[in-house]
Structure 1
């Protein structure tokens, strides 16, 4: 007999070949999150994080629970600072829920962006220069290795963008 509840969502694994499919897959992964969203990317460019719909989905996620978290690790956070004002507004509104880091050391070698919901759903682009990716919803087996990869990248990162502006 299985430990999975009868009403649990069934795993869904698909290959993706276009940017539009990736944006929809990222939305699906975010929608499946119940506690934590983890993101690794080069710059976050062309991932939809400045869209109204994505901003509203993230806001809904944060409002649904005080313990909800978003962790973002980027090679180049400057793009986010220039081109994602909606995400920065969420950072100001939910400063205890969002952490944005810059990768350092060996983590800078990573070239495969991904978004993970909790420990069960993932969108994973095979290389940032290609449109090929996969999405696996409600699949611990597919999400676990990517979650471990994120933890390694997070260990080799440092805080980069905060809710407050320091300096002149």
Structure 2
């Protein structure tokens, strides 16, 4: 499902934001749906679609965040909007096996994590937990985007289906509790 692009007070597309209108959100909540994808572009679009629905929490597991598109300005704008909307201090939680890609290739995401450190956090998984490799994103405990294998683009998106996210949420909490906090960005030296 492609959602309309809305620019908030900008005439150029410098800060595009993909947000659904209230009638689209209501339609999604009333009609659970499941769809599949088999290309990385479709996966990134599914990620953007569920991030636009975020109201409270976003939990993300990915071995390295290499394919989810979090470095794209439009996706970062969605993460920023979600963190601003959420009243929770744990609005965005991310668990990775390997932070090298984020540290090396994601300066925008690093800046976002520094700016929203009060709402967003990142942990590195415990070496004993690295057998789990299926990337997923769960939004508000009821929307899911999951790939079946980290090397392949095939996966599914489940909207308004809390029963589909239970296994992933439980696995995430296990990874989160065993993981170690990771500061991303440059220390201030204070």
The question of whether the paired residues in 2 share the 8 Å contact of 1:105 and 1:156 is answered with no
Q: Could you tell me which residue of structure 1 aligns to residue 50 of structure 2?
A: 29
Equivalent residue in structure 1 for 2:176, among 141, 154, 163: 154
Q: Could you tell me which residue of structure 2 aligns to residue 72 of structure 1?
A: 94
Residue-by-residue CA offset, 1:115-154 (whole Å, 9 max, x unaligned): 1101100111111012211110111011111111111111
Q: In the comparison of the two structures, how many residue pairs are matched?
A: 163
User: What is the distance in 2 between the residues matched to 1:6 and 1:80?
Assistant: 35
Q: Could you tell me which residue of structure 2 aligns to residue 128 of structure 1?
A: 150
Aligned partner of residue 122 in structure 1, secondary structure? strand
User: What is the distance in 1 between the residues matched to 2:29 and 2:148?
Assistant: 28
Q: Could you tell me which residue of structure 2 aligns to residue 43 of structure 1?
A: 64
By how many angstroms is 1:7 displaced?
A: 8.6
59-68 or 139-148, which deviates more = 59-68
In structure 2, do the counterparts of structure 1 residues 8 and 123 end up closer, same or farther at CA, with 3 Å as the change threshold? closer
4+ residue runs over 4 A deviation: none
Report which structure shows greater RCO (CA 8 Å, sep ≥6).
1
Q: Could you tell me which residue of structure 1 aligns to residue 140 of structure 2?
A: 118
Q: Could you tell me which residue of structure 2 aligns to residue 18 of structure 1?
A: 39
By how many angstroms is 1:16 displaced?
A: 1.3
Q: Could you tell me which residue of structure 1 aligns to residue 124 of structure 2?
A: 102
Unaligned runs of 5+ in 1: none
The question of whether the paired residues in 2 share the 8 Å contact of 1:102 and 1:159 is answered with yes
User: What is the distance in 2 between the residues matched to 1:166 and 1:87?
Assistant: 18
Residue-by-residue CA offset, 1:148-167 (whole Å, 9 max, x unaligned): 11111112211123465277
TM (normalized to structure 1)? 0.89
User: What is the distance in 1 between the residues matched to 2:92 and 2:28?
Assistant: 27
**What root-mean-square deviation, in Å, do the aligned CA atoms of Structure 1 and Structure 2 show?**
2.0
In structure 2, do the counterparts of structure 1 residues 15 and 8 end up closer, same or farther at CA, with 3 Å as the change threshold? closer
